[in-house]
Structure 1
Amino acid sequence: MKIFSKKLTKTDVENRLCIKSKSLDFFPAFEGGQHAQVLRVEDEEGKEWRFRLIIRRGRYRKPVLSVADWLQFIKSKQLESGFKVQLFKEEDEA
C-alpha cells in the first residue's frame, strides 16, 4: 500500500524530506510525548535504511525525515530535485 509520494524539492535533497501531515496516519504511532522515532525502510534492492522520523514541536507539527541516513540515501541513489520518491507499507500476511 502506498503511504507517501512526493516530487523532491531542493530542501528535500539538501536537508531533510518534508512529509505531509496527513501521511502520519500510515506511520507507526508516536508514544505519549515522543516527537522522534527511527523508521526502518527497505529500498527496491533490499537494502535497509534507518531514517529518523521527527514531528516538529509547537503549533506547526509537520513531520520530516531528518539528515544522516536520509542524505546518504539521496547520494547513493543520485537523487535530485524533481525526482519522485514513494514509500510503501508492506501488509502483514498474518
Structure 2
Amino acid sequence: MEIFNKALTKTDINVRFSFPTNRIECFAELEEGQSHSVDLTVKDSRQRVWTFSCRKRRNGSHPKPWLSGEWLRFVKHCGLKIGDKVVMVQEDDQFLGSQYRIEAKRRIIVLGQAIWADVLVNC
C-alpha cells in the first residue's frame, strides 16, 4: 500500500525529508504520542536496507513529520535531485509485521511522453 509520494524540494535534498502530515497515521508509535521519534528500517529497490528516523515536532497542533537518520546518505547514494519523486510503500507481513519500501523516481521523456522511471544510477 502506498503511504505517500512526493516530489523532492531543496530542503528534502539538503536537510531532511518532510512528508505530508495526513500520512503520520501510518506510523502508529508517533500517532499515539508514545514517542516523538521512531527508527524505520526501509528497503530500496535494490533491497539495500536504510534506517530513517521518523520524527515529529514535540509541541503544537501541526506535528510536521520528517525523515532524517540515513536519509541524506540515501539521497547522495541515489544521486537524487530536486523534482525527483520518492514513493514510500508499506507492506504487511503476517510474520514480520509492517515492512517499508522506498522507491526513487525521475521524470523522463520517452517517445514524447513524460513517465516516472526508477532512479537506478547508483542505487
Judge same fold: TM > 0.5, yes or no: yes
Q: Structure 1: give runs of 5+ residues left out of the alignment.
A: none
Query: Which has more strand, going by share of residues?
Result: 2
Aligned match of 1:64:
66
Letter in 1 for 2:24: L
Q: What TM-score results when the alignment is normalised by the length of structure 1?
A: 0.90
Q: Structure 2: give runs of 5+ residues left out of the alignment.
A: 96-123
Give the aligned length: 93
**Identical columns (%):** 38
Q: What TM-score results when the alignment is normalised by the length of structure 2?
A: 0.70
Structure number, greater radius of gyration:
2
Higher relative contact order (CA 8 A, sep 6+): 1
Q: Evaluate the alpha carbon distance shift between residue 57 and residue 2 of structure 1 in structure 2; reply closer, same or farther with a 3 A threshold.
A: same
Aligned match of 2:53:
52
Q: Distance in 2 between matches of 1:25 and 1:32?
A: 11
Contact 2:36–2:55 (8 Å) recurs in 1:
yes
Letter in 2 for 1:73: F
**RMSD (Å), alpha carbons:** 1.5
**1:32 Cα offset (Å):** 4.2
User: Are 1:24 and 2:24 an aligned pair?
Assistant: yes
User: Are 1:36 and 2:2 an aligned pair?
Assistant: no
Letter in 1 for 2:63: R
Aligned match of 1:89:
90
User: Structure 1, residues 47-94: CA drift from partner, whole Å, max 9, x if none?
Assistant: 00000000112113110002x410000000000110000000012256
User: Structure 1, residues 16-57: CA drift from partner, whole Å, max 9, x if none?
Assistant: 000111111122423644100101100000000000000112
Aligned match of 2:117:
none
Q: Distance in 2 between matches of 1:75 and 1:62?
A: 24
